[in-house]
Amino acid sequence: MEKKIYISCDMEGCAGVTSWEQTHYGQKGYEQALAEMTRETVAAVEACQAAGYAVTVKDGHEDGINLDPALLPAATELIQGWDSSPEEMMAGISADYAGAIQIGCHSPAGSSETPLDHTVEHGWYSWVKLNGELASEFAFNSLCAAQYGVPSLFMSGDAGICRRAEEFCPGIVTCATKRGVGSATVNKSPQEVASAIKTGIKQALAAPGPLPLLKDEYLLEFCFSSAGRARAASFYPGAERSGERIVRYRAKSIKELLTAKMFMTEI
């Protein structure tokens, strides 16, 4: 059977990306940010292919149509857009993959480790929590992979999410692209980051880490920024209000957790 690796990529955690303007198509700095997202993704693909793996890449930023297929290494499978499933940034993941890699990750909404902190959608929430801890997109994505028995092997992003990933998935290899200081970022050079991604993935593939610690129950909590969104989410079956703008839901499985997140956030 062909050996395969799944790569999900985002933009906010890439080196040199500091402002929200840079992350939106057509605005100041977007082309620069896209070039860096592409550079870091290419480095990850090349490292996997050099180790003998076929690679699937999911473009996971905004509308999911950012990466130019022509700029990716030959034989790369690219998933663009959104497949309207709870898997979202991990669309198409399955037990056929030997491991998952996430590129361009960022710290979660409610944290102070990057000026681009958010979870799922910027501006919709003050924070999202999973079992009482601030929840990142990385956490949801790694659980999505884990339900198929696929370990999260490597992740790159800001220093804050690297620390959180190492706590959530002991044994994962990480690469910090930058660190946040207030509304600023202190960035490594693109060349250094690309080299570190290749080195880190080579290390991760040689000695894959375990799956994240799975739970019997997941408590999902959203602190919405608007009363309207909180009210709408509270009508999801099993959801309950626990504050003026806080809605929570208890899931018995990862699939149930991700499905509730999809519908409660309208994403």
pLDDT per position as a tens digit, 174-223: 999 999 999 999 999 999 999 999 999 999 999 988 888 899 999 999 99
Closest CA to 112 of 132, 126, 102: 126
pLDDT, mean of residues 94-108 = 98
Distance CA 43, CA 89 (A): 19
Q: What is the pLDDT of residue 236?
A: 97
- Per residue in 214-266, pLDDT (tens digit) is 999 999 999 999 999 999 999 999 999 999 999 999 999 999 999 999 999 98
Domains of the chain and any CATH numbers: 4-107+136-206 (3.40.50.10780), 218-264 (3.30.1360.130)
Per-residue pLDDT for 1 more than 80? no
The pTM (predicted TM-score) of the whole model is 0.97
Name the DSSP class of 89: G
Instruction: For the sheet with 184-187, list strands across it.
Output: 77-79, 54-59, 4-9, 99-105, 152-158, 173-181, 184-187
DSSP string, 241-259: E-SSSEEEEEESSHHHHHH
Phi then psi dihedrals of residue 185, to 5 deg: -130, 145
∠ CA 5-135-149, nearest 5°, is: 30
Cα separation, 162 vs 168, in Å, equals: 10
163, pLDDT greater than 90: yes
